[in-house]
Structure 1
Amino acid sequence: MTLTPTARPAPARETWPQVHVPPGAPRPRIVLEHPDFYLVNKPPMWLTHHTRGRHDVPSVLEYLQHDLDEPLLAPPHRLDRETSGAQLLSRDTASAREFFFLFKAHRVTKTYLCLVHGHPDWDETTLDAPLGFVGVSGDNAVQIRQGVTLDGRSARTDFRRLETREHPVHGPLTLVEATPRSGRLHQIRAHLSHLHLPMVGDKIYGRDPQAFVDFVDGTITARQSERLILTRQALHAWRVAFPWSGATVQAEVPLPADMANLWAEAQVSPAG
């Protein structure tokens, strides 16, 4: 059945600012269209929306506002620039308000896929551990780094081991499903680090605590880049589910090429 969106005023398309997209870069793709919202496949290295100081990076919101000629599009949640996958966009103020209440009531379930170093000794586990800023010290030069702290904000993440493999160059890897039950900064990445399962490509919580600082300074070495494996954190918003108009909406977004190709290069582990 074709869903016809309600009419909404919009300025002429030529009045919209063009969003610069690097040649050959993947573009946002609509996975699900509903009269009230879109579910979009956000490519890695795109912002959800422009923030101060980052207008050099393409933004999903501004790109689709121009491409679809829908000025009222708005993101009820945000994916980090390096994170790929399922991004919701409301299409009018009424749907934006409804999403606000759904997220506030924790009725939107987001499930992620991540590639991590190592093989966990569990099939499923839940980490219920508060997260907060760990503070700059001799061991940490990253101001925004989160960690499990006694005075942190409550944070709970459900993890499931989907499969373990052995990469011929990069060693043991695991495909992990993560479902955050709270919405803390860097929650999945910080919790995985606490479980001693650093995420592939993660410059803040990965195997090299200096990688993020060197990356920002432009002094990251070839060896550090090799250890990261990917140019971005291997975190993908895979599935989203929520109630809407008396039904349950659920959709999945497949792994992007960089994560899928790395995983395909690895061999199935006997333990997996």
Structure 2
Amino acid sequence: MPSKNMLPKGQRRHSVRAEYVATRGVDPEMPPVVPVLDFEDDGDVTDATVRTFVADPVAAGMRLDLYLAQALPDISRARVQVLIDAGQVCVNGETPKAKDKLKGGETVEIEGQPQLEPLHATAEDIPLDIVFEDKYLAVVNKPAGMMVHAGAGATDDDRNKGTLVNALLFHLAKLSDIGGQLRPGIVHRLDKQTSGLIVVAKDDSTHRKLGEMFSERTVKKTYLTLVHGHLAKDDTTVTLPIARDLQRRIRMTTRRPDGRSAVSHMHVLERITTPFGAFTMVEVKIETGRTHQIRVHMQSLGHPVVGDFLYGAPHVIRRVDGGEGVLELERNFLHAASLQLTHPQTGKELELEAPLAKELVEFLEQLREG
């Protein structure tokens, strides 16, 4: 029996479906489309509010937490689990578990709001280059050397300081909670030694919509990179799948048959011949966002990213003409230069750019001058 709060046909959406397909391994052909429940008539949800609805028939066979995360437009799965664990959710008058399967037609009651634990990450007064900001999201030009967030096992010590998250908590009044206690607001990531544009969400609804956009590949990301050697073709597309290297766990590889699909489009901007050897400046547009994707795909072509010691670039670049002098770059020459997306809340087209970091510009000058 459909809920009386259900939106009219044609206005329903399943806001987190694509995100969960991407992050939780759900077969996109299998899950039913879950109508989103509309509670606008109830006004703001307070700690004393009890929301009651009937589970849609399509919920049959679904886990309770997954169904609620899809049916409620502004509550993430993590928050749903908090509600369930705190006993704030009842199904047919009983207190359920998050993993309980629904049959469809149950009466579901949700009391109040999830009471989240304090964030493990703490605010730090770290300068940020904020390229764009409104009440929904912000886009930051991240410097190289800054981790986006601490690892899952981080504690309140030096491993959980100096990250982009720490800086965001200081500079922005609010961040979404979908990423959890260590990753508030984080929708996507950049490697520590990669600079450039990264978008963060200020509320769960925006975070969820951005997640769908990244999953559906409607966000256009363009990178600039300098690689060793001259690429043979002006335009190359690499489609090699990427997986964890089982021998060296900190690396990724294109040599495993069970890798995840990855697509990188490479366009040569300039081939540079210098006393330190041959190099190519490349513009890269990626359709997917796999870990180390550009770096691994460049290695697969035999042209590692300058400064990327993990994937074969030399630590010291020596002159090939026998002259004196060496060059060193203590970061990857990889920069997220532009970002194009439709604003998830306003519908405005955003085209944002970040110039090459100062240290990369200086390195290029030294390379050209010899």
- TM-score norm. by structure 2 comes to 0.57
Task: Give, in whole Å, the separation in 2 of the partners of 1:262 and 1:38.
Answer: 29
Q: Is the 8 A contact 2:123 2:168 kept in 1?
A: no
Q: Whose RCO is larger (CA < 8 A, sep 6+)?
A: 1
Secondary structure of the structure 1 residue equivalent to 2:310: coil
Letter of the 1:247 partner, please give it.
Answer: K
Q: Tell me the CA shift for residue 122 of structure 1.
A: 1.1
Structure 1 match to 2:303: 197
Residues 171-228 of structure 1: CA distance to partner in whole angstroms, max 9, x if unpaired? 21211111111122211101100111111110211235xxxxxxxxxxxxxxx45578
State the distance in 2 between where 1:107 and 1:36 align.
18
Question: Which of 127, 136, 141 is 1:36 aligned to?
Answer: 136
1:130 to 2:241 alignment? yes
Instruction: Give the match for residue 237 of structure 1.
Output: 336
Task: Give secondary structure in 1 for the equivalent of 2:269.
Answer: strand
Q: In 2 relative to 1, CA 202–57 (structure 1 residues): closer, same or farther, beyond 3 Å? A: farther
- CA drift of 1:87 comes to 0.9
AA in 2 matched with 1:109: K
Matches within 5 A, 1:72-91: 72=176, 74-91=185-202
Among 113, 128, 137, the alignment partner of 2:224 is 113
> Are 1:266 and 2:370 counterparts?
no
Amino acid across the alignment from 1:78: R
Matched, 1:65 2:169: yes
Q: Give the secondary-structure state (helix, strand or coil) at the position aligned to 1:122.
A: coil
Which of 328, 344, 347 pairs up with 1:246? 347
Residues 130-187 of structure 1 deviation map (CA, whole Å, 9 limit, x = unaligned): 2223432xxxxx223222223322211100111122333x321211111111122211
Q: 1:40-75 deviations in whole A, cap 9, x for unaligned?
A: 110111111222346265111221211333354601
Residue 165 in structure 1 maps to residue 266 in structure 2: no
Whether the 8 Å contact between 2:150 and 2:160 is mirrored in structure 1 is no
2:249 aligned residue: 143
Letter of the 2:232 counterpart: D
For residue 337 of structure 2, what is the amino acid of its counterpart?
Answer: W
Tell me if the contact between 1:167 and 1:266 (Cα under 8 Å) persists in the aligned partners: yes
Change (3 A) 1:62 1:119: same
Q: Work out whether residues 35 and 91 of structure 1, in 8 Å CA contact, stay in contact via their aligned partners in 2.
A: yes
CA contact (8 A) 2:174 2:203 kept: no
Change in 2 beyond 3 A, CA 1:50/1:144: closer
AA at the equivalent of 1:253? A
Q: Is the 8 A contact 2:124 2:169 kept in 1?
A: no
- Percent of aligned pairs with the same residue? 32
Which secondary structure does the structure 1 equivalent of 2:231 belong to?
coil
In structure 2, relative to structure 1, the CA distance for the partners of 1:175 and 1:57 (3 Å cut) is farther
Provide structure 1 residue ranges, at least 5 long, that are not aligned to the other structure.
1-15, 22-26, 137-141, 209-223
Q: Displacement, 1:116?
A: 0.6
Alpha-carbon contact 1:200-1:229 (below 8 Å) kept: no
Number of residue equivalences: 227
Counterpart contact for 1:20–1:58, Cα < 8 Å: no
CA contact (8 A) 2:133 2:139 kept: yes
Native 8 Å contact 1:110 1:241 kept in 2: yes
Change over 3 Å in CA distance of 1:131–1:182 after alignment to 2: same
Equivalent of 2:292 in 186, 194, 200 = 186
Residues 102 and 18 of structure 1, relative CA distance in 2, 3 Å threshold: closer
**1:265 deviation in Å?**
2.6
Secondary structure in structure 2 of the residue aligned to 1:267: helix
Alignment partners' CA distance in 2, 1:144 and 1:174: 26
Q: Which amino acid aligns with 1:248?
A: E
Q: TM-score, normalised by structure 1?
A: 0.76
Query: What is the CA–CA distance in structure 1 between the aligned matches of 2:172 and 2:245, rounded to whole Å?
Result: 42
Q: 1:56 to 1:92 in 2, by over 3 A?
A: closer
